[in-house]
Chain A
Amino acid sequence: MQRPTPGSTLRTGGFWGPNLTARACGAIAIAVLLLAVALPLVALFYRSLIRDGALSLGNYIDVFSATRNYQPIWDTLVLGFWSMIVAAALGVPLAWLVARTDLPGRRFLEIVCLLPYMLPPLIGAMAWTQLLAPRAGYINQLWMSLMGTRTPLFNIYSFGGMVMVMGFYTFPFVFLAVRGALERMNPSLEEAARICGARSARVARDITVPLVIPSIAAGMMLAFLYTASNFGVPALLGMRARIYVLTTRIYAYVLQGDMAGIQLATSLSVVLLALAGLLILGNRWILRRQHGAAIISGKSVRPTRVELGRFRYPLAAVVHLFMALTTMSPIVALFITSFLKAWGLPLQASNLTLRNYQYILFEFPLTRTAILNSLILAVASATAAVLLGAALAYIVVKAKVRGRQAVDALVTFPNAIPGTVLALAMILAWSGRYGVNLYNTFGILIVAYLAHYTFYAYRNIAASLVQVHPSMEEAARISGAGLFRTLRDVVFPLIRPGLTAGWLLVFAPTLRELTMSILLYGPYTPTIGVALFDLQDAGYFHIASALAAVLVVVILVTNMVMRKIVGARTTAA
């Protein structure tokens, strides 16, 4: 969209033009970005190479010479691999059913598929525990009483349990990628093959599948990345079975509290960061290699849906039942537990109570503080992220300064960095070593959230800004409005939906953040995520469930509001 704009002060002067205030705002935004992202990451790299005050590879040698250090690397890869397989096995068929068949209830399936996308896997792990904890899980209880046995059906505290929960929580990545590809694909590509003489199975083999494979692969890589970055699931389900992945091993080392622990955690973090980087590069590479041609779109032809015929209703029943079981039943179990006087009690009216809610909301200091903290943190981070994101988006999209690609990368990349790595980098950079100590304060949490989540606000605002044609601003300038007046009167009203959506997109995930918070919270700054984790880990399932239930409701409401504003079906936090 490059177009010559001779004489425009906005561009000929460039961003570093005559307006001093504008320059100051831009400089501040970039400085914040450097301090929140670049400095901590540099500190992380640097520290991983320092041993006894000298440059050395000793830390890495330590990592690769002790089983308890390299085993987590291997386990991360295996867990990521299998979750990715489960995600593809679920996501691909569902995407095809929703995008390309006349299966009844497709709209409902679409929403159900996005549910795990909105809720954090931590809640998934909690919920599945209610169902499949070895002794007292609802399903295991049912199984044992039906079969008259004392061996549970399935132990959630296992590698298989982690794979299952992660798979259920990452399949939307594959689902969304494949559904998008199937819907975007021009139906005439397939019709052309039919008219050439190919039957539908042949069309699928020669045309549809080859065109969708890159999207499947890209979705699977995201599933892998998401799994490798996740802390909640392996922490709740794996540590009890002494299975450590990178995130949990790093956590354990940080918790150890001494220099040696931090040192090893730092090196392991760099390994995890490298893994994430490889996955992101792979994802980008696949998407870029995708044959982009033939997108010359003509009139939209009605998408040809496969008629399932007599399989239509049986298949619908199976699919809906399966989706209900995997996505809804754990949540239902969670809600049920939240009304029980104690976990494990049979479901009877006499055992039901609202006490848990009263307790977490009004009595228990930990949860009360955590809720308040998380609300403050989420509002502060979302607001800061929108301000920062808007300034950066304007710099990148409108002012077109030199080096804008670097700015774009510095906002985008941290979103893909595992939270554990980012949190450790924050500790290294901001706990006094470089003159500022934010440790144990809200400050370090906000900086970490900003680094990780500003991307959501930035992306949405940038997308809205792109829509604002330069002539809109030019018309305001020629009418006599200055830069800030133009921003206020023209640009701001036009991108307001993007700003609101950006705010909510940061608010929702920070409200329930666990991975970074668990490493960064202090005695006075526990968050909801931390409280959930601690209560669940300590076995107070009924109280944890009540807190989780409140969180689920808040997240769903936030998402509904967001959908109303953005009007898009697929945006989710």
Chain B
Amino acid sequence: MASISLRHVSKLFGSVRAVNDALLDIADGEIICFLGPSGCGKTTTLRMIAGFDRPTSGEILIGDKVVSSAKDNVPPERRNLGMVFQNYAVWPHMNVFANVAYPLKLRRVPKRDLRQKVQHTISLVGLEGLEKRYPEQLSGGEQQRVALARSLVMEPVALLLDEPLSNLDAKLREKMRFELMDLHRQIGVTMVYVTHDQAEAMVLSDRVVVMNRGRVVQVDSPMAIYGEPRDPFVADFIGLANFVPVVLQDESAGQGVAESTGPARTRYRCRVRPHAGRALPAKGTLFVRPEDVAILPPEKGEVKGTITRATFLGTRLDVRVDVDEVEWRADASTDSDLHEGRQVGLSIRRAIFFDS
């Protein structure tokens, strides 16, 4: 098992910068998710780690060995990685056993050893009894497990997964998430996971790498990514968010006061990231999660507003409140008596200011 490092890795396709100066250290045994919208460069990054694409500049290290650089590229077959493809890529002309045994066959593992290791891995992913089946006789979820077993059987230095759950239905997807976590707990292999599904990234990873337009935007724990997004893109891409146009009037020691641009000039206390080039007053956006907005009786709270819509969503109420000509979203418990037209007060627990 090994760590993986990306040092200023860039990849150009023609004149398109698919990956732009990616810098990242993945610790041994860590689960890392690359998260971002399609075309953000996450798959290209994974394919460079795998060795299918060669970086235009920068280098990639597995352990302390440089495997990819502009000059030299260790081919995929010599990297000893496991990889699960989005479409599983289970070979249709081989049965389950042959698929899983293939990496060991290439490594000339003696027959008895091979049989035992394959059996062990097949039972690890829960496919006992299906060894003789061909892929066309398997469900999508089972094919997925074959791909997983095949990528684990030769004890790879790291496991790469390219949107492995995106072809499964919602229920199975959730189940597989937890199975992957259990698997990781058992074998502790370094996992690099590509997904566009934020829930998947949140559940699985030790750290999330958010990418946008070829750039690594933020690398943090799921909690930090959700609670302390670095910029509006991350804030918007993950979870729901209120964005309110404001002008920052005052700041000191990471705290500030922002004033809305609406007619009432409502003032909000917020957190401000220090920024050297900033001159007050500074235009920007206030970011607030809906669950950080508490709905109170009209006489309480920092801000007054009118409910424009309240929608029942099963476990909670999704409430829209008009405050100073901006529509806010807030979460409320389902037992609260909130309806259209009602005057309320809002209390904002946490707000972050982003420069524009």
Residues of A within 8 A of B (CB): 186, 188-189, 191-199, 202, 206-207, 210-211, 291-294, 296-299, 304
In this complex, which of A206, A211, A293 has the most chain B Cβ atoms within 10 angstroms of its Cβ?
Answer: A293
Contact residues in B for A192 (Cβ distance below 8 Å): 83, 85, 89, 91, 147, 150
> Contacts A192-B85, A196-B106 hold; do A296 and B154 have CB atoms under 8 A apart?
no
The A-contacting residues of B in range 95-126, CB under 8 angstroms, are 102-103, 106-107
Given contacts A186-B87, A197-B103, A294-B88, 13 further A-B contacts (CB under 8 A): A189-B89, A196-B154, A197-B77, A206-B102, A210-B93, A211-B91, A211-B92, A293-B90, A293-B138, A293-B143, A294-B91, A294-B136, A296-B140
- B residues in contact with A294, CB < 8 Å: 87-92, 135-136, 143
Q: Which of B51, B52, B85 contacts A298 (CB 8 A)?
A: B85
Is the CB of B301 closer than 8 A to any CB of chain A? no
Check A196–B88 contact: CB distance below 8 A.
Answer: no
Contact across chains for B102 and A195 when beta carbons are under 8 A apart: no
Residues of B whose CB lies within 8 Å of any CB of A are 38, 43, 50-52, 75-83, 85-93, 102-103, 106-107, 134-138, 140, 143, 147, 150-151, 154, 160, 163, 166-167
Asked whether B81 lies within 8 Å of A195 as measured between CB atoms, the reply is yes
Query: How near does chain A come to B254, taking the closest CB pair, in angstroms?
Result: 42
Given contacts A191-B52, A191-B85, A197-B154, contact A291 B134 (CB under 8 A): yes
Residue numbers in B under 8 Å from A191 (CB-CB): 50, 52, 76, 83, 85, 89
List B contacts of A291 (CB < 8 A): 92-93, 134-136
User: Can you list 22 contacts pairing A with B, beta carbon distance less than 8 Å?
Assistant: A191-B50, A191-B52, A191-B83, A191-B85, A192-B147, A193-B91, A194-B77, A195-B160, A197-B78, A197-B103, A199-B75, A207-B91, A291-B135, A291-B136, A293-B90, A294-B91, A294-B92, A294-B136, A296-B167, A297-B87, A298-B163, A299-B86
A195 touching B82 in the complex, CB below 8 Å, given contacts A291-B135, A298-B166: yes
In the bound complex, residues from chain A placing their C-beta under 8 Å from that of B38 are 299
> Which residues does chain B contribute within 8 Å of A199, judged by CB atoms?
75, 77
Is the pair A196, B85 in contact by a Cβ cutoff of 8 Å? no
Residue of B nearest to A186 (CB): B87
Contacts of B140 in A (CB 8 A): 296
User: What is the chain B residue whose CB lies nearest that of A207?
Assistant: B91
- Chain A CB within 10 Å — which of B43, B78, B79, B87 has the most? B87
A105–B82 Cα distance when bound, in Å, is 37
In contact, A298 and B136 (Cβ under 8 angstroms): no
Contacts of A197 in B (CB 8 A): 77-78, 80, 103, 106-107, 154
Q: Are B50 and A195 closer than 8 Å at their CB atoms?
A: yes
Report whether B93 and A188 are in contact in the complex, using a CB–CB cutoff of 8 Å.
no
- Nearest chain A CB to B327 CB, angstrom units: 35
What are the 10 A-B residue pairs with the smallest beta carbon separation, nearest first?
A: A293-B136, A291-B92, A298-B86, A188-B89, A192-B89, A196-B103, A298-B87, A293-B135, A188-B85, A197-B106
- Chain A residues contacting B78 (CB-CB under 8 Å) are 197
Please indicate the chain B residues that have their CB under 8 angstroms from the CB of A194 in the complex: 52, 75-77
Check if A198 sits within 8 Å of B143, measured CB to CB.
no
Contact between B134 and A198, CB atoms less than 8 A apart: no
Contact, CB under 8 Å: B77 / A196: yes
The complex places the Cα of A139 from the Cα of B275 at a distance, in Å, of 83
* Residues of the A chain whose Cβ atoms lie less than 8 Å from the Cβ of B154: 196-197
Residues of B within 8 A of A292 (CB): 92, 136
Residues of chain A lying within 8 A (CB to CB) of residue B91: 189, 192-193, 207, 211, 294
Given A293-B136, A294-B143: A196 and B90 interface contact (C-beta under 8 Å) = no
The residues of A that contact B102 with a CB separation of less than 8 Å are 193, 196, 198, 206
Task: Report the Cα distance A202→B85, complex, angstroms.
Answer: 20
A304-B136 in contact (CB<8A):
no
Shortest Cβ distance from B88 into chain A, in angstroms? 7
